[in-house]
Structure 1
Amino acid sequence: MKILVVDDEPLARDELSYLLKQNRLTDSVYQADSIGTAVDKLLQEKIDVIFIDISLNDENGFQLANELKKLIQPPLIVFATAFDSYAVKAFDVDAVDYVLKPFEQSRVNQALEKVQAIFKLQAKKDNSLTVNSHFGSEKTKIISITSDDKTKIIKQHDLIMATIKDGALTLITNGQSYSTRQSLGWLLSRLNKNDFLQVHRSIIVNINSISELEPWFNHTYQLKLTNGMKVPVSRSFIKSVKKRLMM
């Protein structure tokens, strides 16, 4: 796994990085000394897990943890700190573990084993939720979700758009909508990338459902869909949207 260590103390970063590299589960370890450098590294590399100190000069690790939650596929979080009084708060931001300084190899190994267990569980869950059917020589992907204690089967070509708000993922088809607690990243990894396009950090649309791209306000744009809905295109996605629409 690829790991990012975020700590403003060079010696602490080096010590933890060394211990992480001794574990068989570690592929590579990167370092950052602030939230800014951590975000830069996250944009450059696909990080699987991030070890965050709570005290980062004038910043704190919880700020970074909250920013990570905005990502489509956020890395898992382990807090690595000298403060033992923030453990409850750490788990409120879905931290996998809370490792105290001074670091010990056995404790670092234990944290990595927890991370690995979550990855295995996610992989098993993902495999059970995706169903592939074959019609002739053509493969049709189906999305399977749990909604209202029932399993809903949605064909990808019927999906118009999907959006996430307050932790609830909503899938919209013609005349129907379904909600689940899965993430947008979970859905995006299952969709045919030739047919779907992310237009906002919280919105995915079916390209075949787009009828117009029109100017909105303050130099932004919105999409008009075939079902009459209009969705915003954020500035960070407008270039890729125009490229996919061959504009």
Structure 2
Amino acid sequence: METKIRTVIVDDEPHGRDELKFLLSEYREMEIVGEAESGEKGLEVIIKKEPDVVFLDIEMPQMSGMELAQSLKNMKKVPLIIFATAYPDYATKAFRVQALDYILKPFDEDQLKETVEVVKARLNIQGAAGRSVRRGSKLAVEDDGRIIYLSPNEITYLFREERETIICTKDRQYRAKLPIKDLEVKLNGYPFFRTHKSYLVNLEKVEELIPWFNGAYQVKVEGKKEEIPVSRNYVKELRERMEL
């Protein structure tokens, strides 16, 4: 039986809800279990339905999307948050409340597809074709015109630099055009963790977690002098993943 991703949509504009429902209907894994036209109603629906993911507008009267996302952090089962908004200026704040992703209206179908893949990767759900990343699979990267196949176990961390993603092994660096979001999907099934919006770290390579400032941390990975940033929003989950 195929696993369904229980989904709630919260948006004060009926057209916005209808458009998102229509687009998500293309993905049979996504099951719309509820919707709401306000933050207050959204909270009620989310508590009742206990969804896996919430698509959440930001600009709403009374309780804003940001306020609702903040209140959800107190739930026993915290859903993944995808902000779906017409306002690009909230992106930084969105990630401060641990939003998984941020998509803009009018919705771009390719961007939404990427978002659905990231949701599936975070929930460790196979795609519609029943394929998942297999142990032993390799990541293809270009290097001076050649295709190099890297075992995910060789990778210590990845980070975004301008329009490229830098893939670091113990001894070398490789450059890829794919964004971290896509590489995170490809590496689903391996112990990689997003410590920051621009960094993805192999947890098996982490040696130290170092306090930094304002609740943020840095990690050190084996074989590297660089210290990798950990947003304070990800510290708790990182420790849960790392510790017995």
Per the alignment, residue 137 of structure 2 pairs with 141
TM-score of the superposition, structure 2-length normalised? 0.56
Per the alignment, residue 14 of structure 1 pairs with 14
Is 1:244–2:241 an aligned residue pair?
A: yes
Distance 1:30 1:77, change over 3 A: farther
Contact 1:131 1:142 in 2 (8 A): no
Is 1:173–2:169 an aligned residue pair?
A: yes
Per the alignment, residue 63 of structure 1 pairs with 89
Contact 1:169 1:182 in 2 (8 A): yes
Distance 1:76 1:218, change over 3 A: closer
Contact 2:170 2:224 in 1 (8 A): no
Is 1:233–2:230 an aligned residue pair?
A: yes
5+ residue gaps, structure 1: 54-60, 80-94, 97-114, 134-138
Contact 1:132 1:142 in 2 (8 A): no
Per the alignment, residue 186 of structure 2 pairs with 190
Of 97, 100, 105, the match for 1:78: 105
| Structure 1 residue 15 displacement after superposition | 4.3
| Structure 1 residue 180 displacement after superposition | 1.6
Distance 1:140 1:37, change over 3 A: farther
Q: Secondary structure at the residue paired with 2:138?
A: strand
The within-5 A match list for 1:79-228 is 79=106, 96=108, 115=109, 119=113, 139-146=135-142, 149-193=145-189, 195-228=191-224
5+ residue gaps, structure 2: 38-56, 73-77, 118-126
Distance 1:190 1:73, change over 3 A: farther
Higher strand share: 1
Distance 1:25 1:67, change over 3 A: farther
Which stretch shifts more, 188-197 or 165-174? Answer: 188-197
Q: Secondary structure at the residue paired with 1:140?
A: coil
Q: Secondary structure at the residue paired with 2:160?
A: strand
Q: Secondary structure at the residue paired with 2:237?
A: helix
Distance 1:160 1:214, change over 3 A: same
| Structure 1 residue 160 displacement after superposition | 0.9
> For residue 244 of structure 1, what is the amino acid of its counterpart?
R
Which stretch shifts more, 13-22 or 171-180? Answer: 13-22
Is 1:34–2:59 an aligned residue pair?
A: yes
Cα RMSD after superposing both structures: 4.4
> How many residues end up aligned between the 2 structures?
189
Contact 1:159 1:173 in 2 (8 A): yes
| Structure 1 residue 227 displacement after superposition | 1.1
Q: Secondary structure at the residue paired with 2:137?
A: strand
| Structure 1 residue 232 displacement after superposition | 2.2
Contact 1:5 1:30 in 2 (8 A): yes
- Which stretches of structure 1, 4 residues or more, deviate above 6 A after TM superposition? 65-73, 130-133
User: Kindly, what percent of the aligned residue pairs are identical?
Assistant: 17
Contact 2:158 2:167 in 1 (8 A): yes
For residues 125-148 of structure 1, give each alpha carbon's deviation from its aligned partner in whole angstroms, at most 9, with x where no partner exists: xx9xx9978xxxxx3121123455
Q: Secondary structure at the residue paired with 1:141?
A: coil
Following the alignment from structure 1 to structure 2, what is the Cα–Cα distance between the partners of residues 159 and 119? Answer: 26
TM-score of the superposition, structure 1-length normalised? 0.56
Following the alignment from structure 1 to structure 2, what is the Cα–Cα distance between the partners of residues 197 and 33? Answer: 26
| Structure 1 residue 245 displacement after superposition | 2.4
Which structure would you say has the larger Rg? Answer: 1
Q: Secondary structure at the residue paired with 1:243?
A: helix
> For residue 225 of structure 1, what is the amino acid of its counterpart?
V
Contact 2:103 2:111 in 1 (8 A): no
Contact 2:103 2:112 in 1 (8 A): no
